[in-house]
Amino acid sequence: MDKTGTEQISANTIGEVKSQVSTWRAFTGTLKRDLLLVFRRRSDIVNPLLFFSIAVTLFPLGISPEPEFLSEIAAGVLWVAALLATLLSLDSLFQQDMADGSLEQLVISPHPLSVLVLSKVLVHWLVTGLPLTLLAPLLAVMMFLPDEGFGTLFITLLLGTPTLSLIGAIGAALTVGLRRTGVLLTLLILPLYIPVLIFGTGAVTAAANGMDVLGHLAILGAMFMVALVMAPLAAGAALKISLNG
C-alpha cells in the first residue's frame, strides 16, 4: 500500500504538472477550514454578539429609558452598535494567517487572491454579520422600535453587514502586518462605513414612519454589489503589501 501510494504521486513529479487546480475547490476548501477554526473557537462568534448587546444596553442607561425617545433612536443605535461590533471583530480576520504563515501560502497559491479573500470574508460574515442580524430584532424589542420597522431592520442588516465585512477586509488587510492595529483599523474603516449607516438607518426610520423603503434597499444593494466586486481586489492587493511590510 505504502509503495503504491508513493508511486502514484511521484509518477506525476517528472514533467509537466497538468492543471489540476480548481479555484472553486480552493474557495470551498478555505471556507471549510475557516469555519472549522471558528467552530473550534466558538467565543469568536459569541463575543461580537455580547458586545452588540452591551453597547445597545448603554444607550437607555446613558440617555433615557423613555420608550418614545428610545423608539426614535432605536434604528440608529442598533445600526451603530452592529457596525462597531463588526469592526471590532475584523482585526483578527487575517492576523492568525499572517502569524502562522498560511497567508503566504494563500498569496502564492495558483488562484486569484481575491477569490480566497472573498472566502474568508464570507466566513467572517457568517460568524458575525449574520448572527448580529438575527439578534437585532430581539434588541429592537428592548429599544421599542416601532413594529413597522422590524422587517426593514432585518433586511437592511442582512444587506448591509456583508458590505461592512467586505469594506472592513480592506482595512484588516492593510493593517495586518503592523504591530498594533486596533485603533488604526477603526480610523481607516469607520469613515467608509458612513454611507451604509446612513441608508441603513434611513430605511428603518422611513419604514417606521410608514414610508416606502425600496429605494433605500436598492441603494444598499448597489453598495453591496460595488463592495463585492472591488473590496476583495483591494484587500488582496493590500495583503501582498502587508506581507512585505
Partner 1 sequence: MQELLSGQNLACERDDRLLFSGLDFSLNSGDVLQIAGPNGTGKTTLLRMLAGLLPDYEGEICFKGQPVSDDPDLFRENLLYIGHHPGIKLNLTPEENLRWYQSLYRPATTEQIHHALAQVKLTGYEDVPCYTLSAGQHRRVALARLFLQPSPLWVLDEPFTAIDQGGVKEIEQLIADHAQQGGAVILTTHHNLSLPAELKVINLGQSPQQKKDNGSQQTDAGEPGNG
Partner 2 sequence: MFDKFVAWFHRMGSPKWFYEITGRWIPWFGAAAVIFLLVGTVWGLAFAPQDYQQGNSFRIIYIHVPAAILAQSIFFAMAIAGGIGLIWKMKVADMVARSCAPIGATMTFVALFTGAVWGKPTWGAWWVWDARLTSMLILLFLYFGVIALQSAFDSKQSAARASAILSLVGVVNIPIIKYSVEWWNTLHQPATFTLTEKPAMPVEMWLPLLVMVIGFYCFFATVLMMRTRNEILEREKRTQWVQGLLSKK
Determine which residue in the list 90, 177, 204, 207 makes contact with partner 2, applying CB under 8 A.
Answer: 177
Cβ neighbours for 105, distance < 8 A, ≥ 6 positions apart: none
Point out which residues bind partner 1 (CB under 8 A).
1-2, 5-6, 8-10, 12-15, 17, 19-21, 25-26, 28-30, 32-33, 36-37, 40-41, 96, 99-102, 104-111, 240, 243-244
For position 194 contacting partner 2 by CB under 8 A, the verdict is: yes
Q: Which of partner 2, partner 1, none interacts with 111 (beta carbon under 5 to 8 A by kind)?
A: partner 1
Contact 187, 91 (CB under 8 A): no
* Residue 175 engages partner 2 in binding (rule: CB under 8 A): yes
Judged by CB under 8 A, which stretch of 69-77, 102-110, 142-150, 187-195 contacts partner 2? 187-195
If the CB atoms of residues 141 and 240 are measured against partner 1, the closer one turns out to be: 240
Contacts by 37-46, CB closer than 8 A, 24 or more apart:
37/96, 38/123, 38/127, 44/89, 44/92, 44/127, 45/127, 45/128, 45/131
Distance CA 217, CA 213 (A): 6
Q: Does 234 bind partner 2 (CB under 8 A)?
A: yes
Q: Which of 118, 124, 125, 117 is nearest to 242 (CA)?
A: 117
Containing 223, the helix (H) or strand (E) segment is: helix 214-243
141 binds, among partner 1, partner 2, none (CB under 5 to 8 A by kind): none
Contacts of 110 (CB under 8 A, 6+ apart): 21
User: Does position 226 bind partner 2 by CB under 8 A?
Assistant: yes
237 binds, among partner 1, partner 2, none (CB under 5 to 8 A by kind): partner 2
Q: Is 46 in the site for partner 2 (CB under 8 A)?
A: no
Supply the minimum distance, in Å, between the C-beta of residue 207 and partner 1. Answer: 42
**Residue 170 binding target from partner 1, partner 2, none, CB below 5 to 8 Å by type:** partner 2
Is residue 228 near partner 2 by the rule CB under 8 A? Answer: no
- Please list every residue from 196 through 215 that binds partner 2, using CB under 8 A: 198-199, 202
CA 90 vs CA 121, 133, 159, 176, 186: distances in Å = 10, 17, 18, 10, 9
Identify the burial level of 74 via C-beta atoms within 10 angstroms of its C-beta, where 0-12 means exposed, 13-18 middle and 19 or more buried: buried
Whole-angstrom distance, CA of residue 99 vs CA of residue 242: 12
- Tell me how far CA of residue 173 lies from CA of 25, 41, 168, 224, 239, in angstroms: 23, 22, 9, 19, 5
Kindly indicate which of the ranges 3-11, 71-79, 96-104, 173-181 contains the residues binding partner 2, using the contact rule CB under 8 A: 173-181
Which residues of this chain interact with partner 2, rule CB under 8 A? 170, 174-175, 177-178, 184, 187-188, 190-192, 194-195, 198-199, 202, 223, 226, 230, 234, 237-238, 241-242, 244-245
